[in-house]
Chain A
Amino acid sequence: AQSVAQPEDQVNVAEGNPLTVKCTYSVSGNPYLFWYVQYPNRGLQFLLKYITGDNLVKGSYGFEAEFNKSQTSFHLKKPSALVSDSALYFCAVRDALYGNNRLAFGKGNQVVVIP
């Protein structure tokens, strides 16, 4: 079964500094990877995905993520964080080979951008 680990509960970063949110995954086959963001009192919003091709994926709001197969990681990055980036971020994975019709989510990372 597929699974995702987001090792940090909270990430604090100063406004203007680079932001990284870590994600590692476990699948039997090839992974399909997603990042979502959740603002207070709202549902999750899609940021970006990796299916195949370029390891560096660009998404919404200036975010990007790098797929690293050898490290089984898909870390989310933003070169310069904004206060408005403060939110809860979820990584998710689906196993492409043994696709059991399910998407597994991590527990989420709270990002706090300090003005």
Chain B
Amino acid sequence: EAQVTQNPRYLITVTGKKLTVTCSQNMNHEYMSWYRQDPGLGLRQIYYSMNVEVTDKGDVPEGYKVSRKEKRNFPLILESPSPNQTSLYFCASSLGLNSNQPQHFGDGTRLSIL
């Protein structure tokens, strides 16, 4: 089954404790992206990747890091999480943005930073 898998689905942690949210897709997609969803703000893009070893900032990259060492994986790293990063996070992938194929989304990761 074609899917985007995020882990963990839920996490409560404390300020400053490094964490990683994993994202994996099994569709051989080139394009992958991370979004955060906040009430009244919709989805805002954090980082995206056009292909292996190619990443770029989205609209709200501060406080986040990503890497794309393999095509299927695109982890989101919070080196020193802060309470304003409490949010619902989504990973998405698609064939390639220029193909205009729709993005496939994971089921989300709800992070609470205390």
Contact = CB atoms under 8 A, between A and B. Distances in A.
Overall SS of chain A's interface? loop
Interface stretch (A66-74, A78-86, A94-102): A94-102
B14 interface: no
B66 to A, nearest CB: 14
Interface residues of B, number: 26
Contacts, number: 58
Given A44-B90, A46-B103, A107 B108 contact: no
Interface residues of A, number: 23
A77 B86 CA distance: 34
B84 interface: no
Interface in B63-114: 90, 92, 97-98, 100, 102-108
Contact of B42 (A34, A43, A106): A106
